[in-house]
């Protein structure tokens, strides 16, 4: 349901406002929920032996907040978190907010150059970090950037490369390393003065205060630090949970990363706003561990990007797991293939699964389906506009396009970020004077307000004057019985300007016949949409959140074609 506007034939919608926006800070939200459901399970991390209720979580968050303040950190300081999914990540998410600190999410895949950039742009005074994960040695990476750690007292780092950083807090039960605090020691603070400081501080915090910096995984240029407030993410988490029909009996399995909005907002905050239980199946995504966790913990909801659901559905032991407790969840993060959606509903029992669309800069969700939407609408759209959000689709001249026509999606409302941290120029490029966030996504709105994302402005390719949206061709190819996953993009061509290229991940045992794929296309879609180039691959280049990096495919193919021509 959306509010009426002056011209219902225009691609302009305003979300319903019958439910008021919440006026909580992140820390205040947890305290309110803990008072209402103190004994309800709040956080379960089987790999770490963590099983705590809301009262216990709330108390642990207060102690950690006090511990951070006892180090000398002050409201408004930035504190980085460089780790995959762990119980401590959740504690820090709420404790940093309760202490008035701004949490800086650092991609666990970052290496030294990217880490240096993120810490210095945000001016982090503290960094909470894991020791390692698989082949990533975080301690060694930081030591190369700040060799002064070896001779520094904890809390007294003075690094030439990282001038703002003073505190390094190490996760894990092992002894602390030189120059670092142990997380557990900070988290167990019982200093009466520091605990009292946390209590008095709450009256000075405001929902509109910045509370989180998330770096966008842009395809060009340096990452941008989208700055979000309590008000942004608390309300977005609340309305996400409302769309899923979450309640205190729900147990949400969260294999998506916390460092991204998908994990910390669609996951953690959607749960906490409704008194549900956060269930963490592991540090990084593993299809088998996720399936096992859903069964053992009797999860009722499951989040994932399409590639995660594909990996679970195609796992050789999939049929051995009882997933009958599942009801809902979210598939988002990248375009959701129709066939995958159908299998999630039929084989994973997620009849009430929802599709969501958004971006980091909008906290993130702007559109979402509901369990009441017919399945057809949950496989051909991203739903209707969220409450208290306004969206319009515009052409190149900034004019709102009629319903059914393609335009750039722009959004404004409570969910729009405060701006990019210390980057007014790029903030002005994305966020105009009227408060519209220019997403760069191409979309259509139908007469009922359902939105379809048809591509990106930069992903759209033009072949011989024909505008081609890769998403349309991808959805078509997902219907081929031999194709497990596919990505379509444009590559340079001297004659047509651009040509269509498809990278295909075939099903196990399927033939790899490029000409057969082209013949299949020629019989069913317009000639100019038929991929001239078909490549079979085992995997796609991706960000850690599961977003496919088409620009890397495009660069690789352009280089191959150039070499072939020479």
pLDDT-based confidence at residue 217 (cuts at 50, 70, 90): low
Rounded Cα gap, residues 241 and 329, in angstroms:
9
Contact 388, 235 (CB under 8 A): yes
pLDDT digits (tens, 9 = 90+) for 532-562: 999 999 999 987 667 788 889 999 999 999 9
Phi and psi angles of residue 556, each rounded to the nearest 5 degrees, phi first: -65, -45
pLDDT at 458 over 80: no
% of the chain surpassing 90 pLDDT:
80
Rounded Cα gap, residues 179 and 156, in angstroms:
8
* pLDDT at residue 336, as a whole number: 75
Rounded Cα gap, residues 316 and 460, in angstroms:
36
What residues are paired with 52 via a beta bridge? 43
Taking the CB of residue 153, how many other CB atoms lie within 10 A of it? 8
* pLDDT at residue 218, as a whole number: 46
Find which of 327-336, 396-405, 448-457 is predicted with most confidence, using mean pLDDT: 396-405
* pLDDT at residue 465, as a whole number: 66
pLDDT at 523 over 70: yes
Whether a cis peptide bond, with omega within 30° of 0, leads into 216 is: no
Specify the range with the lowest mean pLDDT, choosing from 32-46, 283-297, 356-370, 493-507.
493-507
Q: How far is CA 36 from CA 42, 81, 269, in A?
A: 12, 29, 16
Mean pLDDT confidence for 162-189: 96
Rounded Cα gap, residues 418 and 214, in angstroms:
12
Q: In what order do the strands lie in the sheet with 251-253?
A: 50-53, 41-45, 277-279, 251-253, 301-304, 328-331, 352-358, 365-368, 384-385
Specify the range with the lowest mean pLDDT, choosing from 40-44, 112-116, 176-180, 209-213.
112-116
H-helix or E-strand spanning residue 453: strand 451-456
Nearest Cα to 241, choosing from 334, 336, 329?
329
What mean pLDDT is reported for the chain?
A: 93
DSSP states along 162-230: STT--EEEE-SSSPPPTT-EEHHHHHT---HHHHHHHHHHGGG--TTSEEEEEE---SSSS--EEEEEH
* Gyration radius of the chain's alpha carbons: 24
pLDDT digits (tens, 9 = 90+) for 5-60: 768 899 999 999 999 999 999 999 999 999 999 999 999 999 999 999 999 999 99
% of the chain surpassing 70 pLDDT:
98
Rounded Cα gap, residues 335 and 357, in angstroms:
9
* pLDDT at residue 96, as a whole number: 98
Query: 224 CB contacts (<8 Å, ≥6 apart)?
Result: 215, 216, 218, 420, 421, 423, 426
pLDDT digits (tens, 9 = 90+) for 123-160: 999 999 999 998 889 999 999 999 999 999 999 999 99
Mean pLDDT confidence for 397-425: 96
């Amino acid at each position: 349901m959306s509010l009426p506007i002056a011209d219902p034939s225009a691609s302009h919608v305003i979300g319903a406002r019958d439910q008021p926006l919440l006026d909580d800070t992140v820390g205040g939200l947890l305290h309110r929920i803990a008072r209402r459901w103190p004994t309800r399970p709040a956080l379960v991390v089987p790999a770490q032996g963590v099983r705590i209720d809301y009262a216990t979580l709330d108390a642990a968050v207060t102690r950690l907040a006090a511990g951070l303040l006892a180090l000398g950190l002050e409201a408004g300081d930035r504190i980085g978190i460089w780790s995959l999914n762990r119980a401590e990540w959740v504690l820090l998410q709420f404790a940093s907010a309760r202490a008035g600190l701004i949490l800086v999410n650092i991609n666990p895949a970052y290496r030294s150059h990217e880490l240096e950039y993120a810490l210095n742009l945000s001016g982090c005074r503290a960094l909470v970090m894991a020791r390692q994960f698989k082949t990533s040695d975080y301690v060694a990476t930081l030591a190369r950037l700040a060799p002064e750690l070896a001779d520094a007292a904890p809390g007294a780092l003075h690094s030439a490369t990282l001038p703002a950083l003073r505190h390094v807090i190490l996760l894990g039960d092992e002894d602390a390393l030189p120059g670092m605090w142990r997380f557990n020691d900070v988290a167990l603070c019982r200093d009466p003065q520091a605990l009292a400081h946390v209590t008095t501080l709450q009256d000075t915090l405001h929902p509109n205060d910045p509370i989180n910096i998330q770096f966008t995984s842009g395809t060009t240029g340096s990452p941008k630090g989208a700055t979000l407030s309590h008000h942004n993410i608390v309300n977005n988490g609340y309305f996400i949970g409302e769309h899923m029909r979450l309640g205190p009996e729900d147990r949400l399995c969260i294999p998506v990363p916390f460092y991204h909005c998908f994990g910390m907002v669609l996951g953690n905050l959607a749960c906490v706003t409704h008194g549900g239980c956060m269930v963490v199946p592991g540090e990084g995504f593993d299809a088998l561990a996720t399936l096992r966790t859903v069964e053992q913990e009797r999860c009722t909801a499951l989040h994932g990007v399409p590639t995660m659901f594909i990996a679970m559905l195609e796992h050789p032991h999939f049929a051995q797991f009882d997933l009958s407790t599942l009801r809902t969840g979210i598939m988002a993060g990248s375009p959701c293939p129709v066939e995958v959606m159908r299998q999630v509903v039929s084989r994973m029992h997620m009849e009430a699964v929802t599709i969501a669309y958004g971006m980091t800069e909008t906290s993130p969700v702007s559109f979402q389906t509901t369990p009441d939407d017919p399945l057809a609408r949950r496989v051909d759209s991203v739903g209707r506009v969220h409450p208290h959000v306004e969206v319009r689709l515009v052409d190149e001249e900034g004019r709102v396009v009629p319903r059914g026509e393609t335009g750039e999606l722009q959004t404004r409302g409570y969910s729009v970020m405060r701006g990019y941290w210390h980057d007014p120029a790029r903030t002005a490029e994305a966020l105009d004077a009227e408060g519209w966030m220019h997403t760069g996504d191409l979309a259509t709105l139908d007469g009922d307000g359902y939105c379809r994302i048809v591509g990106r402005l930069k992903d759209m390719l033009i072949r011989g004057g024909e505008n081609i949206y890769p998403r349309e061709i991808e959805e078509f190819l997902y219907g081929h019985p031999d194709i497990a996953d596919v990505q379509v993009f444009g590559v340079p061509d001297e004659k047509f300007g651009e040509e269509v290229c498809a990278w295909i991940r075939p099903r196990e045992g399927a033939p790899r016949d490029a000409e057969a794929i082209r013949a299949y296309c020629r019989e069913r879609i317009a000639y100019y949409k038929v991929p001239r180039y078909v490549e079979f691959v085992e995997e796609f280049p991706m960000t850690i959140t599961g977003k496919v990096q088409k620009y890397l495919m495009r660069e690789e193919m352009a280089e191959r074609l150039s070499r072939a021509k020479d």
